[in-house]
Amino acid sequence: MYYPSFNIGIEEEYQLIDPDSRELLGYVTQSMAREKMVVNERAPSADLATLIREGAVSTGTPVCMDINEARDMLLRVREQMLELGVAGGFKIAGAGTHPFSRWEGREEMLAQYRQMAEDVQVIARRILAFGLRIHIGVEDRDLAIDVMNTLRYVLPHIFCLSTSSPFWQGRNTGLKSYRAVLVDSLPRTGIPGAFSSYHDYRLYVDTLMRTNSIPDPRRIMYDVVPHYRFPTLVIRICDMMPSYRDVLAVTALIQASVAWMVDLRQRNLSFRLYDRTLIAENKWRAVRYGLDGNLVDFGVEQQVPARELISELLDRIEPVARKLSSWHELEHCYTILARGSSSDQQLAVWAEHGEDARAVVDFLVAETENLA
């Protein structure tokens, strides 16, 4: 019987912060596909791109066989970023949005975003959002589609743990993830529809390309999607999180959830497929309330506290996680449930410091720098 590798790739987006003003200087996106660190600078004179390039930061997180290897590689990249920050006089922060920076009026734009900006105009130009992309190896492409169809149901549960963007341009948005609002305003984002096979999915992609709707498959940015180049599923629903422990816990949760879906299929046990509109209802609840809200259990058609449903998910996947030797990282999810997500922590810091967004930036920097 075939089983996927379930190997792991982690791609983070780091904010580069001015230590005095706490403003956003630029940001760095890890890319395994392009095999480089992509740098966007606020001020051309900052020359951050040269600093990152000459600093020889590892390109993305290479494919890792298990969560232990992923931990080592993640820490290595973060250590290198922090060293470059010391050399360049900037700080590193991880979060879905910057609490107050604005980039209006900036004309320069990364090449890969120029086509997007041409397509969707002002929607793309207002986006200053930072995410976490997790690759899980599922080499059989038809199996990957089956897993994608079923995994959609638990994406809002996972998302609740990763929310990290309650602020936008100096305001408390009242949401736990304003990044999701920004990203989901773009086409071909959010919860995807179900596909009957990989062939069906490729027909969808090819149709968009033939009709000049997209120039290449990279423009399909759903919350879960087969990677256009690697034999992986890419889960991109999560906000960028400052704590590496949170990142590893959510990564282990995603890996174990994928493995659970595969195991159910291999044992001919069905997982009911729900329409994307129903799953999107739960995603909105995660965006608005995060761990403090209720999610709908569509099996019984009742709303249940998010923490309760997430705990139930953790109970279900624990045996799979132990087989993957990842439970020691995954059980940190219980700490997040008790403590709150990064958004909850940011809001607490903001309230404790008289609604000072600069204090939130300091918190994010300290959390990102803490590699203990």
The pLDDT value recorded for residue 96 is: 97
User: Which residues, other chains included, contact 91 with Cβ-Cβ below 8 Å and sequence gap of 6+?
Assistant: 16, 17, 18, 19, 85, 365, 369
The pLDDT value recorded for residue 345 is: 98
The pLDDT value recorded for residue 40 is: 58
Token representation of residue 4: 């996927």
Residue carrying structure tokens 């734009």: 109
Rounded CA-CA distance 365/121 in Å is 32
The pLDDT value recorded for residue 62 is: 72
> 0.85 exceeded by the pTM?
yes
Rounded CA-CA distance 191/224 in Å is 7
Q: What would you report as the CA-atom Rg of the chain, rounded to the nearest whole angstrom?
A: 20
The pLDDT value recorded for residue 35 is: 53
The pLDDT value recorded for residue 271 is: 80
The pLDDT value recorded for residue 124 is: 40
The pLDDT value recorded for residue 88 is: 83
Rounded CA-CA distance 41/58 in Å is 19
The pLDDT value recorded for residue 50 is: 60
Domain 8-369 has CATH 3.30.420.40: no
pLDDT in tens, the chain (372 residues): 678 999 999 999 999 899 999 998 888 887 766 555 555 555 444 455 565 555 434 445 578 999 999 999 999 989 988 988 888 889 999 999 999 998 654 444 444 434 433 443 334 445 689 999 999 999 999 999 999 999 999 999 999 999 999 999 999 999 999 999 999 988 999 999 999 999 999 999 999 999 999 999 999 999 999 999 899 999 999 999 999 999 999 999 999 999 999 999 888 887 889 999 999 999 999 999 999 999 999 999 999 999 999 999 999 999 999 999 999 999 999 999 999 999 999 999 999 999 999 999 999 999 999 999
Rounded CA-CA distance 224/74 in Å is 21
Token representation of residue 295: 């999610």
